Copies of this chain bind each other. A is one copy, B any other.
Amino acid sequence: MSTNQDQEGANYQYKIESLIQPIRDDLMSGAAEQALRAITLYQALTAMVKDDSLDEAKETLIVASKALVDCQPAMAPLFQLANQVLLASDQANDVPSLIDKVDQALTAFEKRLCDSASKIADLAYDLIEPGGLVFAYSFSSTVVSCLLNARARGRYFRVVTTEARPSMEGRKLASRLAAGNIEVIYTFDNAMGLVLGNCCAAFMGCDCIASPGVVNKVGSWALAIACRELNVPLYAFSGTEKFVSDERMFEFEKHERPGNEVWDAAPKGVAVLNHQFDLVPFNLVSGLVSEDGILGESDVQKYASRIDVHEALRI
């Protein structure tokens, strides 16, 4: 490699890093918002590589895609988007066709995200009993949109939620819903059993889906067994952009944060665990509310087995 190429490589790396940094630093936005931002990132990349050789251009996309997936390892749509982009780029035999294929993949992904939200909101509307009480767990922008949409369409209902320790996403959920004119009952996570029995349904978001089940905020498993015990149907809300390969799902499951976020002054001899996710097996979920309808266990297996992962993104 010449000095010029070295220089150019370093320059690319710097550009990729500066495009990814804002996505890495944002700990508040949901996966859908982050995916829309990542689409802009790929648009910038295709503009960058237009004078490179096909191999160089593909390599740039691979480096950027790996960095994107690693920067937020728990955001399934980033993985799906990166995977779609790389699979599309493999079909190109020159740079203009690569740019074209990637562009098509980005457009299709963006359309899918947007259509998905409104389709899911329609399905959710019918799951909310008029005058009923709905349990919603943790913060999911999909669940929040569905509830606000149903209220805006004139359905009256109340929502019960719990804190969702340790990050207290339940407070964000309660505040958003209350601001949207939905009455909220709020309690702590271990009091779930006291309120759930009065609910007509329980809703949760979803961080990723694979054949073993749905991965979501820790506490979802406890919610699921409580729902089964009390005969409350539990729905996971998610577009199909959250399907990942099984090996990728196990990466999610391992995801841990610092113990001091749970207890900042734990005495010597006390090890603090701060796992982020629970795996809820499909047999505990009444349905996956997606843009393709309310999916049952057998449908989900079909989607899960259909995932073709680009070799650069295999673990």
Contacts and interface: CB of A to CB of B under 8 A. Distances in A.
Contact of A271 (B164, B185, B188, B273): B185
B183 A269 contact: yes
Contacts of A179: 267, 269
Interface in A273-293: 273-275, 278
Given A163-B165, A183-B271, A188-B262, A221 B193 contact: yes
25 contacts: A162-B190, A163-B262, A163-B263, A165-B165, A174-B266, A174-B267, A177-B269, A178-B268, A178-B269, A185-B270, A186-B266, A186-B272, A188-B274, A189-B189, A189-B190, A189-B219, A190-B218, A191-B275, A193-B218, A193-B221, A193-B278, A194-B273, A194-B278, A195-B273, A225-B226
A282 to B, nearest CB: 15
Contact of A270 (B164, B174, B181, B269): B174
Interface in A154-168: 162-166
A222 interface: yes
A183 B195 CA distance: 34
Contacts of A194: 218, 221, 273, 275, 278
A222 B193 contact: yes
B190 A165 contact: yes
Nearest to A274: B187
A143 B187 CA distance: 27
Nearest to A224: B193
Interface footprint category on A: 35 or more
A222 B272 contact: no
A310 interface: no
B269 A184 contact: yes
Contact of A191 (B175, B218, B269): B218
B225 A271 contact: no
B219 A229 contact: no
